[in-house]
Structure 1
Amino acid sequence: MRMTSDTRSREPGPADDGSDASGSGGLTVGRAAALVGVSVKTLHHWDAIGLVRPSGRTWAGYRVYGDGDIARIHQVLVYRELGFPLAEIGRVLDAPEVDARGHLRRQRAQLVERIARLEKMVGAVDRMLEATGTGMRLTPREQVEIFGADWRPAWVEQAEERWGDSAQWAQYAERAAGMTPDDWRRAVAATEAFHADLAAAHRAGTAPGSAAANALAERHRELLSTYFDCTRAMQVCLARSYVTESGYADFYDGLSPGLAVWLRDVVHAGARAHGVDPDTAVWE
Protein backbone atom coordinates (compact mmCIF):
# COMPACT_ATOMS: atom_id res chain seq x y z
CA MET A 1 0.00 0.00 0.00
CA ARG A 2 1.37 3.42 -0.89
CA MET A 3 1.75 5.75 2.12
CA THR A 4 0.40 9.22 1.48
CA SER A 5 1.23 12.22 3.65
CA ASP A 6 -2.37 12.16 4.92
CA THR A 7 -2.05 8.51 5.93
CA ARG A 8 1.20 9.15 7.76
CA SER A 9 -0.40 11.96 9.76
CA ARG A 10 -3.00 9.58 11.17
CA GLU A 11 -0.74 6.70 12.09
CA PRO A 12 1.61 7.00 15.11
CA GLY A 13 5.26 6.34 14.54
CA PRO A 14 8.16 5.57 16.88
CA ALA A 15 8.61 9.23 17.75
CA ASP A 16 5.14 9.23 19.35
CA ASP A 17 6.69 7.27 22.21
CA GLY A 18 9.36 9.83 22.88
CA SER A 19 12.08 9.61 20.29
CA ASP A 20 13.19 12.84 18.74
CA ALA A 21 11.89 13.96 15.38
CA SER A 22 14.31 16.05 13.41
CA GLY A 23 12.96 19.24 12.03
CA SER A 24 9.82 19.00 14.14
CA GLY A 25 9.77 22.54 15.46
CA GLY A 26 8.10 21.17 18.63
CA LEU A 27 8.14 18.39 21.17
CA THR A 28 7.23 14.79 20.52
CA VAL A 29 4.70 13.08 22.79
CA GLY A 30 7.42 11.50 24.91
CA ARG A 31 9.33 14.73 25.40
CA ALA A 32 6.17 16.73 26.11
CA ALA A 33 5.05 14.15 28.67
CA ALA A 34 8.44 14.27 30.42
CA LEU A 35 8.36 18.07 30.44
CA VAL A 36 4.93 18.46 32.07
CA GLY A 37 5.11 15.36 34.29
CA VAL A 38 2.36 13.17 32.85
CA SER A 39 2.45 9.86 31.02
CA VAL A 40 2.52 9.40 27.28
CA LYS A 41 -0.69 7.43 27.65
CA THR A 42 -2.35 10.47 29.28
CA LEU A 43 -1.39 12.74 26.40
CA HIS A 44 -2.64 10.17 23.89
CA HIS A 45 -5.96 10.06 25.77
CA TRP A 46 -6.26 13.84 25.87
CA ASP A 47 -5.53 13.92 22.15
CA ALA A 48 -8.18 11.25 21.46
CA ILE A 49 -10.91 13.14 23.36
CA GLY A 50 -9.93 16.47 21.86
CA LEU A 51 -8.77 18.05 25.10
CA VAL A 52 -5.19 18.76 24.01
CA ARG A 53 -4.30 18.00 20.43
CA PRO A 54 -0.74 18.55 19.19
CA SER A 55 -0.88 21.33 16.66
CA GLY A 56 2.22 20.39 14.71
CA ARG A 57 3.51 17.55 12.60
CA THR A 58 6.98 16.66 11.53
CA TRP A 59 7.84 16.15 7.89
CA ALA A 60 7.45 12.42 8.66
CA GLY A 61 3.97 12.93 10.07
CA TYR A 62 4.75 12.54 13.77
CA ARG A 63 2.69 14.57 16.20
CA VAL A 64 4.51 17.40 18.00
CA TYR A 65 3.47 19.90 20.65
CA GLY A 66 4.16 23.57 20.21
CA ASP A 67 4.47 26.23 22.92
CA GLY A 68 0.72 26.91 22.86
CA ASP A 69 -0.01 23.21 23.27
CA ILE A 70 2.30 22.96 26.28
CA ALA A 71 0.62 26.01 27.81
CA ARG A 72 -2.78 24.35 27.33
CA ILE A 73 -1.51 21.17 28.99
CA HIS A 74 -0.48 23.22 32.02
CA GLN A 75 -3.94 24.81 32.13
CA VAL A 76 -5.53 21.37 32.04
CA LEU A 77 -3.30 20.22 34.88
CA VAL A 78 -4.30 23.21 37.02
CA TYR A 79 -8.02 22.61 36.48
CA ARG A 80 -7.61 18.87 37.04
CA GLU A 81 -5.81 19.55 40.33
CA LEU A 82 -8.80 21.69 41.34
CA GLY A 83 -11.08 18.74 40.72
CA PHE A 84 -12.66 19.69 37.40
CA PRO A 85 -13.77 16.73 35.21
CA LEU A 86 -11.93 16.54 31.89
CA ALA A 87 -15.10 17.24 29.90
CA GLU A 88 -15.73 20.43 31.88
CA ILE A 89 -12.10 21.50 31.48
CA GLY A 90 -12.51 21.24 27.73
CA ARG A 91 -15.64 23.42 27.82
CA VAL A 92 -13.95 26.04 29.99
CA LEU A 93 -10.90 26.23 27.72
CA ASP A 94 -12.72 26.13 24.40
CA ALA A 95 -15.87 28.19 24.95
CA PRO A 96 -15.25 31.94 25.21
CA GLU A 97 -18.70 32.48 26.65
CA VAL A 98 -18.00 30.15 29.59
CA ASP A 99 -17.43 32.08 32.81
CA ALA A 100 -14.03 30.71 33.83
CA ARG A 101 -13.89 32.96 36.91
CA GLY A 102 -17.30 31.70 37.98
CA HIS A 103 -16.08 28.14 37.63
CA LEU A 104 -13.04 28.93 39.74
CA ARG A 105 -15.13 30.65 42.43
CA ARG A 106 -17.41 27.65 42.68
CA GLN A 107 -14.44 25.32 42.73
CA ARG A 108 -12.84 27.39 45.48
CA ALA A 109 -15.97 27.04 47.59
CA GLN A 110 -15.89 23.28 47.06
CA LEU A 111 -12.22 23.21 48.05
CA VAL A 112 -12.97 25.10 51.26
CA GLU A 113 -15.65 22.53 52.09
CA ARG A 114 -13.23 19.72 51.27
CA ILE A 115 -10.56 21.26 53.53
CA ALA A 116 -13.08 21.41 56.38
CA ARG A 117 -13.96 17.73 55.85
CA LEU A 118 -10.27 16.80 55.72
CA GLU A 119 -9.60 18.69 58.95
CA LYS A 120 -12.36 16.68 60.62
CA MET A 121 -10.82 13.50 59.24
CA VAL A 122 -7.42 14.54 60.59
CA GLY A 123 -9.00 15.06 64.00
CA ALA A 124 -10.58 11.60 63.82
CA VAL A 125 -7.26 10.04 62.82
CA ASP A 126 -5.52 11.87 65.70
CA ARG A 127 -8.06 10.41 68.09
CA MET A 128 -7.52 6.94 66.68
CA LEU A 129 -3.77 7.37 67.01
CA GLU A 130 -4.27 8.43 70.61
CA ALA A 131 -6.52 5.42 71.15
CA THR A 132 -3.85 3.14 69.70
CA GLY A 133 -1.41 4.45 72.26
CA THR A 134 -3.56 4.92 75.35
CA GLY A 135 -6.51 2.74 74.43
CA MET A 136 -9.00 5.44 75.41
CA ARG A 137 -11.18 6.75 72.61
CA LEU A 138 -12.38 9.73 74.61
CA THR A 139 -11.55 13.37 74.15
CA PRO A 140 -10.12 15.17 77.21
CA ARG A 141 -13.51 16.88 77.62
CA GLU A 142 -15.34 13.53 77.58
CA GLN A 143 -12.85 12.13 80.10
CA VAL A 144 -13.53 14.96 82.55
CA GLU A 145 -17.28 14.68 81.99
CA ILE A 146 -17.32 10.92 82.65
CA PHE A 147 -14.61 10.59 85.29
CA GLY A 148 -15.34 13.79 87.19
CA ALA A 149 -13.97 17.30 87.62
CA ASP A 150 -10.92 16.02 89.51
CA TRP A 151 -9.86 13.83 86.58
CA ARG A 152 -6.68 14.78 84.76
CA PRO A 153 -6.31 13.44 81.18
CA ALA A 154 -2.53 13.53 81.65
CA TRP A 155 -2.87 10.64 84.10
CA VAL A 156 -3.46 8.28 81.19
CA GLU A 157 -0.17 9.34 79.59
CA GLN A 158 1.62 8.95 82.92
CA ALA A 159 0.21 5.45 83.30
CA GLU A 160 1.36 4.56 79.80
CA GLU A 161 4.87 5.80 80.57
CA ARG A 162 4.93 3.58 83.64
CA TRP A 163 3.29 0.40 82.34
CA GLY A 164 3.26 0.87 78.56
CA ASP A 165 5.70 -2.01 77.93
CA SER A 166 3.66 -4.56 79.88
CA ALA A 167 1.32 -7.18 78.44
CA GLN A 168 -1.39 -5.89 80.78
CA TRP A 169 -1.18 -2.41 79.28
CA ALA A 170 -1.55 -3.91 75.81
CA GLN A 171 -4.69 -5.70 77.03
CA TYR A 172 -6.00 -2.48 78.53
CA ALA A 173 -5.33 -0.53 75.31
CA GLU A 174 -7.13 -3.12 73.19
CA ARG A 175 -10.15 -3.37 75.48
CA ALA A 176 -10.41 0.36 76.17
CA ALA A 177 -10.21 1.16 72.46
CA GLY A 178 -13.44 -0.77 71.97
CA MET A 179 -15.30 0.99 74.77
CA THR A 180 -17.87 3.64 73.94
CA PRO A 181 -18.59 6.63 76.20
CA ASP A 182 -21.60 4.71 77.58
CA ASP A 183 -19.33 1.73 78.34
CA TRP A 184 -17.05 4.04 80.30
CA ARG A 185 -20.00 5.52 82.17
CA ARG A 186 -21.12 2.04 83.24
CA ALA A 187 -17.58 1.16 84.31
CA VAL A 188 -17.31 4.36 86.34
CA ALA A 189 -20.71 3.73 87.97
CA ALA A 190 -19.64 0.21 88.96
CA THR A 191 -16.39 1.53 90.43
CA GLU A 192 -18.13 4.29 92.37
CA ALA A 193 -20.63 1.78 93.77
CA PHE A 194 -17.76 -0.47 94.84
CA HIS A 195 -15.95 2.41 96.54
CA ALA A 196 -19.12 3.33 98.42
CA ASP A 197 -19.57 -0.28 99.62
CA LEU A 198 -15.88 -0.45 100.50
CA ALA A 199 -16.00 2.68 102.67
CA ALA A 200 -19.22 1.52 104.34
CA ALA A 201 -17.69 -1.88 105.18
CA HIS A 202 -14.60 -0.21 106.60
CA ARG A 203 -16.63 2.15 108.77
CA ALA A 204 -18.72 -0.82 109.92
CA GLY A 205 -15.56 -2.57 111.16
CA THR A 206 -15.69 -5.50 108.71
CA ALA A 207 -12.72 -7.74 109.47
CA PRO A 208 -10.24 -8.69 106.69
CA GLY A 209 -10.63 -12.39 105.97
CA SER A 210 -14.35 -12.44 106.75
CA ALA A 211 -16.83 -13.61 104.13
CA ALA A 212 -17.99 -10.04 103.51
CA ALA A 213 -14.41 -8.76 103.18
CA ASN A 214 -13.45 -11.62 100.86
CA ALA A 215 -16.44 -10.80 98.67
CA LEU A 216 -15.23 -7.20 98.43
CA ALA A 217 -11.73 -8.41 97.54
CA GLU A 218 -13.19 -10.47 94.70
CA ARG A 219 -15.25 -7.52 93.47
CA HIS A 220 -12.08 -5.46 93.48
CA ARG A 221 -10.27 -8.02 91.30
CA GLU A 222 -13.22 -8.31 88.94
CA LEU A 223 -13.29 -4.54 88.43
CA LEU A 224 -9.59 -4.57 87.58
CA SER A 225 -10.19 -7.46 85.19
CA THR A 226 -12.46 -5.20 83.15
CA TYR A 227 -9.26 -3.72 81.74
CA PHE A 228 -6.75 -6.59 81.92
CA ASP A 229 -6.62 -10.15 83.21
CA CYS A 230 -5.80 -9.47 86.84
CA THR A 231 -4.47 -12.45 88.78
CA ARG A 232 -4.63 -12.51 92.56
CA ALA A 233 -0.86 -12.03 92.70
CA MET A 234 -1.21 -8.89 90.56
CA GLN A 235 -4.03 -7.71 92.81
CA VAL A 236 -1.76 -8.12 95.84
CA CYS A 237 0.96 -6.04 94.17
CA LEU A 238 -1.53 -3.28 93.40
CA ALA A 239 -2.90 -3.36 96.95
CA ARG A 240 0.61 -2.79 98.29
CA SER A 241 0.89 0.37 96.21
CA TYR A 242 -2.32 1.68 97.77
CA VAL A 243 -0.34 2.10 100.98
CA THR A 244 3.12 2.97 99.67
CA GLU A 245 2.14 5.51 97.00
CA SER A 246 0.71 8.77 98.29
CA GLY A 247 -1.70 9.30 95.41
CA TYR A 248 -3.50 6.01 96.06
CA ALA A 249 -3.35 6.40 99.84
CA ASP A 250 -4.77 9.92 99.72
CA PHE A 251 -7.63 8.78 97.48
CA TYR A 252 -8.70 5.81 99.61
CA ASP A 253 -8.18 7.55 102.93
CA GLY A 254 -10.28 10.39 101.58
CA LEU A 255 -13.17 7.94 101.26
CA SER A 256 -12.68 6.74 104.83
CA PRO A 257 -9.65 7.43 107.07
CA GLY A 258 -7.42 4.34 107.18
CA LEU A 259 -9.16 2.70 104.19
CA ALA A 260 -5.93 2.26 102.18
CA VAL A 261 -4.31 -0.01 104.79
CA TRP A 262 -7.58 -1.84 105.42
CA LEU A 263 -8.10 -2.50 101.68
CA ARG A 264 -4.57 -3.86 101.41
CA ASP A 265 -5.26 -6.21 104.30
CA VAL A 266 -8.57 -7.28 102.78
CA VAL A 267 -6.89 -8.10 99.44
CA HIS A 268 -4.07 -9.96 101.20
CA ALA A 269 -6.51 -12.04 103.23
CA GLY A 270 -8.55 -12.81 100.13
CA ALA A 271 -5.40 -13.94 98.31
CA ARG A 272 -4.46 -16.27 101.19
CA ALA A 273 -7.93 -17.81 101.01
CA HIS A 274 -7.11 -18.78 97.43
CA GLY A 275 -3.64 -20.13 98.16
CA VAL A 276 -1.61 -17.06 97.22
CA ASP A 277 1.00 -15.87 99.74
CA PRO A 278 0.88 -12.06 99.72
CA ASP A 279 4.38 -11.85 101.25
CA THR A 280 5.97 -13.48 98.20
CA ALA A 281 3.49 -12.53 95.46
CA VAL A 282 4.98 -10.94 92.34
CA TRP A 283 3.47 -9.39 89.23
CA GLU A 284 2.58 -12.42 87.15
Structure 2
Amino acid sequence: MDERGRAEGGVTVGRAAAEIGVSVRTLHHWDELGVAIPSGRTNSGYRSYLPVDIARLRRVVLLRDLGVPLARIPTLLSAPAAERRAELTQRRRELADTIARLEAVVRSVDRLLEADEVGVLIPEDEREAVFGDDWNPTMAETARARWGDSAQWAEYAERSATRTPDDWRVLIGPMRDLVDELAEAERAGVAAGSATADTLAERHRAALSEYFHCTPSMHVIIGRLALTEPGMADTYDRIEPGLAAWLSHVIDENARNHGVDPETAVWE
Protein backbone atom coordinates (compact mmCIF):
# COMPACT_ATOMS: atom_id res chain seq x y z
CA MET A 1 0.00 0.00 0.00
CA ASP A 2 1.39 3.45 -0.93
CA GLU A 3 1.91 6.31 1.49
CA ARG A 4 -1.33 7.98 0.49
CA GLY A 5 -3.33 4.80 1.05
CA ARG A 6 -1.85 4.38 4.47
CA ALA A 7 -2.75 7.95 5.29
CA GLU A 8 -6.36 7.34 4.36
CA GLY A 9 -6.57 4.69 7.06
CA GLY A 10 -5.09 6.94 9.76
CA VAL A 11 -6.58 9.42 12.21
CA THR A 12 -5.53 12.86 13.34
CA VAL A 13 -3.61 13.43 16.53
CA GLY A 14 -6.77 14.81 18.15
CA ARG A 15 -8.76 11.71 17.25
CA ALA A 16 -5.96 9.42 18.42
CA ALA A 17 -5.70 11.27 21.72
CA ALA A 18 -9.45 10.96 22.27
CA GLU A 19 -9.42 7.25 21.45
CA ILE A 20 -6.79 6.34 24.05
CA GLY A 21 -7.71 8.93 26.67
CA VAL A 22 -4.69 11.23 26.73
CA SER A 23 -4.09 14.82 25.67
CA VAL A 24 -2.84 15.97 22.29
CA ARG A 25 0.09 17.52 24.12
CA THR A 26 0.99 14.11 25.53
CA LEU A 27 1.02 12.53 22.08
CA HIS A 28 3.24 15.31 20.76
CA HIS A 29 5.59 14.72 23.70
CA TRP A 30 5.72 10.99 23.05
CA ASP A 31 6.38 11.70 19.39
CA GLU A 32 9.30 14.00 20.28
CA LEU A 33 10.79 11.37 22.60
CA GLY A 34 10.37 8.59 20.06
CA VAL A 35 8.03 6.65 22.33
CA ALA A 36 5.18 6.54 19.84
CA ILE A 37 5.71 8.14 16.41
CA PRO A 38 2.75 8.38 14.01
CA SER A 39 3.58 6.57 10.80
CA GLY A 40 0.85 7.91 8.50
CA ARG A 41 0.52 11.12 6.52
CA THR A 42 -2.54 13.08 5.53
CA ASN A 43 -2.98 14.45 2.02
CA SER A 44 -1.79 17.77 3.39
CA GLY A 45 1.38 16.23 4.73
CA TYR A 46 0.40 16.13 8.40
CA ARG A 47 1.22 13.04 10.37
CA SER A 48 -1.61 10.66 11.20
CA TYR A 49 -1.95 7.61 13.40
CA LEU A 50 -2.55 4.29 11.67
CA PRO A 51 -4.23 1.34 13.43
CA VAL A 52 -0.80 -0.10 14.22
CA ASP A 53 0.14 3.20 15.86
CA ILE A 54 -3.04 3.23 17.92
CA ALA A 55 -2.28 -0.30 19.09
CA ARG A 56 1.20 0.82 20.16
CA LEU A 57 -0.25 3.83 21.93
CA ARG A 58 -2.55 1.58 23.96
CA ARG A 59 0.44 -0.50 25.03
CA VAL A 60 2.33 2.65 25.96
CA VAL A 61 -0.59 3.85 28.09
CA LEU A 62 -0.82 0.47 29.84
CA LEU A 63 2.89 0.38 30.62
CA ARG A 64 2.87 3.97 31.79
CA ASP A 65 -0.08 3.22 34.09
CA LEU A 66 1.82 0.23 35.44
CA GLY A 67 4.63 2.55 36.46
CA VAL A 68 7.16 1.75 33.74
CA PRO A 69 9.38 4.82 33.20
CA LEU A 70 8.60 6.53 29.90
CA ALA A 71 12.22 6.30 28.74
CA ARG A 72 12.17 2.52 29.17
CA ILE A 73 8.93 1.88 27.28
CA PRO A 74 10.35 1.86 23.70
CA THR A 75 13.02 -0.67 24.69
CA LEU A 76 10.49 -2.82 26.49
CA LEU A 77 8.08 -2.80 23.54
CA SER A 78 10.78 -4.12 21.25
CA ALA A 79 12.19 -6.60 23.78
CA PRO A 80 11.70 -10.38 23.50
CA ALA A 81 8.33 -11.68 24.64
CA ALA A 82 9.81 -13.38 27.71
CA GLU A 83 11.27 -10.09 28.93
CA ARG A 84 7.99 -8.28 28.40
CA ARG A 85 6.07 -10.98 30.26
CA ALA A 86 8.53 -10.85 33.15
CA GLU A 87 8.15 -7.06 33.37
CA LEU A 88 4.37 -7.26 33.23
CA THR A 89 4.30 -9.99 35.87
CA GLN A 90 6.44 -7.94 38.22
CA ARG A 91 4.44 -4.78 37.62
CA ARG A 92 1.19 -6.66 38.19
CA ARG A 93 2.53 -7.98 41.50
CA GLU A 94 3.44 -4.46 42.58
CA LEU A 95 0.06 -3.19 41.46
CA ALA A 96 -1.73 -5.91 43.45
CA ASP A 97 0.30 -4.96 46.53
CA THR A 98 -0.63 -1.31 46.04
CA ILE A 99 -4.30 -2.20 45.67
CA ALA A 100 -4.17 -4.26 48.87
CA ARG A 101 -2.59 -1.35 50.75
CA LEU A 102 -5.17 1.08 49.41
CA GLU A 103 -8.01 -1.28 50.33
CA ALA A 104 -6.61 -1.40 53.85
CA VAL A 105 -6.52 2.41 53.90
CA VAL A 106 -10.15 2.51 52.76
CA ARG A 107 -11.14 0.13 55.56
CA SER A 108 -9.27 2.32 58.05
CA VAL A 109 -11.03 5.43 56.77
CA ASP A 110 -14.40 3.67 56.99
CA ARG A 111 -13.70 2.70 60.60
CA LEU A 112 -12.56 6.23 61.42
CA LEU A 113 -15.74 7.71 59.95
CA GLU A 114 -17.84 5.21 61.89
CA ALA A 115 -15.92 5.90 65.09
CA ASP A 116 -16.42 9.62 64.60
CA GLU A 117 -20.15 8.92 64.33
CA VAL A 118 -20.75 6.39 67.11
CA GLY A 119 -17.63 6.54 69.30
CA VAL A 120 -17.19 2.86 70.17
CA LEU A 121 -16.86 0.24 67.43
CA ILE A 122 -18.10 -2.76 69.35
CA PRO A 123 -21.20 -4.73 68.31
CA GLU A 124 -24.20 -3.71 70.40
CA ASP A 125 -24.64 -7.17 71.87
CA GLU A 126 -21.03 -7.16 73.15
CA ARG A 127 -20.90 -3.71 74.71
CA GLU A 128 -22.42 -4.59 78.05
CA ALA A 129 -20.00 -7.49 78.41
CA VAL A 130 -17.10 -5.12 77.81
CA PHE A 131 -18.27 -2.05 79.73
CA GLY A 132 -20.40 -3.69 82.40
CA ASP A 133 -23.90 -3.07 83.68
CA ASP A 134 -23.42 0.68 83.82
CA TRP A 135 -22.99 0.91 80.03
CA ASN A 136 -25.06 3.82 78.76
CA PRO A 137 -25.80 3.51 75.02
CA THR A 138 -26.55 7.22 74.76
CA MET A 139 -23.27 8.32 76.35
CA ALA A 140 -21.30 8.43 73.09
CA GLU A 141 -24.14 10.21 71.32
CA THR A 142 -24.31 12.83 74.07
CA ALA A 143 -20.54 13.29 74.04
CA ARG A 144 -20.45 13.69 70.25
CA ALA A 145 -23.25 16.26 70.36
CA ARG A 146 -21.20 18.34 72.80
CA TRP A 147 -17.63 17.69 71.66
CA GLY A 148 -18.00 16.43 68.08
CA ASP A 149 -16.32 19.49 66.56
CA SER A 150 -13.37 19.45 68.95
CA ALA A 151 -9.84 18.20 68.38
CA GLN A 152 -10.28 15.92 71.40
CA TRP A 153 -13.23 14.11 69.84
CA ALA A 154 -11.24 13.65 66.64
CA GLU A 155 -8.38 12.16 68.68
CA TYR A 156 -10.82 9.95 70.57
CA ALA A 157 -12.35 8.72 67.30
CA GLU A 158 -8.92 7.99 65.79
CA ARG A 159 -7.97 5.86 68.78
CA SER A 160 -11.37 4.21 68.98
CA ALA A 161 -11.19 3.23 65.30
CA THR A 162 -8.25 0.92 65.99
CA ARG A 163 -9.47 -0.61 69.25
CA THR A 164 -10.85 -4.11 69.61
CA PRO A 165 -13.13 -5.32 72.42
CA ASP A 166 -10.04 -6.67 74.18
CA ASP A 167 -8.34 -3.28 73.85
CA TRP A 168 -11.32 -1.67 75.53
CA ARG A 169 -11.23 -4.23 78.34
CA VAL A 170 -7.59 -3.36 78.95
CA LEU A 171 -8.61 0.29 79.37
CA ILE A 172 -11.80 -0.22 81.32
CA GLY A 173 -10.41 -2.62 83.93
CA PRO A 174 -7.75 -0.27 85.37
CA MET A 175 -10.20 2.65 85.29
CA ARG A 176 -12.70 0.67 87.36
CA ASP A 177 -9.95 -0.25 89.81
CA LEU A 178 -8.92 3.40 90.01
CA VAL A 179 -12.47 4.55 90.72
CA ASP A 180 -12.65 1.99 93.54
CA GLU A 181 -9.39 3.40 94.93
CA LEU A 182 -10.81 6.92 94.69
CA ALA A 183 -13.86 5.82 96.63
CA GLU A 184 -11.69 4.18 99.29
CA ALA A 185 -9.61 7.35 99.56
CA GLU A 186 -12.70 9.49 100.07
CA ARG A 187 -14.02 7.13 102.74
CA ALA A 188 -10.63 7.24 104.44
CA GLY A 189 -10.75 11.04 104.54
CA VAL A 190 -7.81 11.61 102.20
CA ALA A 191 -7.50 15.39 101.86
CA ALA A 192 -7.39 17.16 98.53
CA GLY A 193 -3.91 18.51 97.91
CA SER A 194 -2.22 15.72 99.85
CA ALA A 195 0.43 13.59 98.17
CA THR A 196 -1.93 10.62 98.06
CA ALA A 197 -4.73 12.67 96.52
CA ASP A 198 -2.41 14.23 93.95
CA THR A 199 -1.12 10.80 92.94
CA LEU A 200 -4.67 9.57 92.45
CA ALA A 201 -5.55 12.70 90.47
CA GLU A 202 -2.58 12.18 88.16
CA ARG A 203 -3.52 8.55 87.64
CA HIS A 204 -7.05 9.67 86.77
CA ARG A 205 -5.71 12.21 84.27
CA ALA A 206 -3.42 9.57 82.75
CA ALA A 207 -6.38 7.21 82.38
CA LEU A 208 -8.35 9.92 80.57
CA SER A 209 -5.33 10.58 78.33
CA GLU A 210 -5.78 7.09 76.91
CA TYR A 211 -8.79 8.57 75.11
CA PHE A 212 -7.39 12.02 74.26
CA HIS A 213 -4.56 14.21 75.50
CA CYS A 214 -5.74 15.70 78.77
CA THR A 215 -3.89 18.67 80.28
CA PRO A 216 -4.24 19.70 83.96
CA SER A 217 -6.45 22.60 82.86
CA MET A 218 -8.70 20.30 80.85
CA HIS A 219 -8.74 17.90 83.78
CA VAL A 220 -10.30 20.63 85.91
CA ILE A 221 -13.10 21.06 83.36
CA ILE A 222 -13.70 17.31 83.31
CA GLY A 223 -13.78 17.29 87.10
CA ARG A 224 -16.50 19.92 87.01
CA LEU A 225 -18.44 17.83 84.51
CA ALA A 226 -18.15 14.85 86.83
CA LEU A 227 -19.79 17.05 89.44
CA THR A 228 -22.45 18.75 87.30
CA GLU A 229 -23.39 16.25 84.61
CA PRO A 230 -26.26 14.11 85.95
CA GLY A 231 -25.09 10.93 84.26
CA MET A 232 -21.47 11.29 85.37
CA ALA A 233 -22.26 12.45 88.88
CA ASP A 234 -24.71 9.58 89.42
CA THR A 235 -22.12 7.06 88.24
CA TYR A 236 -19.56 8.26 90.78
CA ASP A 237 -22.02 8.81 93.61
CA ARG A 238 -23.53 5.35 93.24
CA ILE A 239 -20.10 3.98 94.08
CA GLU A 240 -19.62 6.33 97.01
CA PRO A 241 -21.91 9.23 97.99
CA GLY A 242 -20.16 12.54 97.43
CA LEU A 243 -17.40 10.97 95.32
CA ALA A 244 -18.01 13.30 92.33
CA ALA A 245 -17.57 16.41 94.48
CA TRP A 246 -14.52 14.99 96.27
CA LEU A 247 -12.88 14.03 92.97
CA SER A 248 -13.50 17.49 91.49
CA HIS A 249 -11.87 19.07 94.56
CA VAL A 250 -8.90 16.68 94.34
CA ILE A 251 -8.44 17.51 90.66
CA ASP A 252 -8.57 21.25 91.38
CA GLU A 253 -5.87 21.05 94.03
CA ASN A 254 -3.67 18.86 91.85
CA ALA A 255 -4.03 21.39 89.04
CA ARG A 256 -2.70 24.11 91.33
CA ASN A 257 0.47 22.06 91.70
CA HIS A 258 0.82 22.31 87.91
CA GLY A 259 0.42 26.09 87.91
CA VAL A 260 -3.24 26.07 86.89
CA ASP A 261 -5.78 28.21 88.73
CA PRO A 262 -8.99 26.12 88.77
CA GLU A 263 -11.07 29.27 88.68
CA THR A 264 -9.64 30.25 85.29
CA ALA A 265 -9.10 26.77 83.83
CA VAL A 266 -9.87 26.50 80.12
CA TRP A 267 -10.36 23.70 77.61
CA GLU A 268 -7.10 23.67 75.67
TM-score by length of 2: 0.59
- The answer on 1:102 being equivalent to 2:86 is yes
Which residue number in structure 2 is paired with residue 117 of structure 1? 101
1:161 pairs, out of 103, 122, 141, with: 141
Q: Secondary structure at the match of 1:38?
A: coil
Distance 1:66 1:132, change over 3 A: same
**Percent of pairs with identical residues:** 35
Given that 1:132 and 1:177 are in contact with CA atoms closer than 8 Å, whether structure 2 keeps it comes out as yes
What amino acid sits opposite 1:53 in the alignment?
A: I
1:79-129 per-position Cα deviation (integer Å, ceiling 9, x unaligned): 222222223321232234653222222222222222233234334544654
Which residue number in structure 2 is paired with residue 65 of structure 1? 49
Distance 1:106 1:243, change over 3 A: closer
Given that 1:32 and 1:65 are in contact with CA atoms closer than 8 Å, whether structure 2 keeps it comes out as yes
Mapped to 2, the partners of 1:201 and 1:172 lie a distance apart of 29
Q: Secondary structure at the match of 1:166?
A: helix
Distance 1:73 1:262, change over 3 A: same
> How much does 1:43 deviate?
0.7
Distance 1:213 1:98, change over 3 A: closer
Q: Which of the pair has more CA radius of gyration?
A: 1
Mapped to 1, the partners of 2:83 and 2:248 lie a distance apart of 81
2:227 pairs, out of 219, 222, 236, with: 236
The count of corresponding residues between Structure 1 and Structure 2 is: 220
Q: Secondary structure at the match of 1:109?
A: helix
- The answer on 1:212 being equivalent to 2:191 is yes
Q: Superposition pairs for residues 173-188 of structure 1, below 5 Å? A: 173=153, 176=156
The CA RMSD over aligned residues, in Å, is 4.8
| Structure with greater helix percent | 2
What amino acid sits opposite 2:146 in the alignment?
A: S
Structure 1's consecutive aligned runs of 4 or more residues displaced over 6 angstroms after TM superposition are: 177-181, 187-190, 213-218, 267-270
What amino acid sits opposite 2:191 in the alignment?
A: A
Which residue number in structure 2 is paired with residue 89 of structure 1? 73
Which residue number in structure 2 is paired with residue 28 of structure 1? 12
Distance 1:46 1:174, change over 3 A: closer
Distance 1:172 1:102, change over 3 A: closer
Given that 2:148 and 2:154 are in contact with CA atoms closer than 8 Å, whether structure 1 keeps it comes out as no
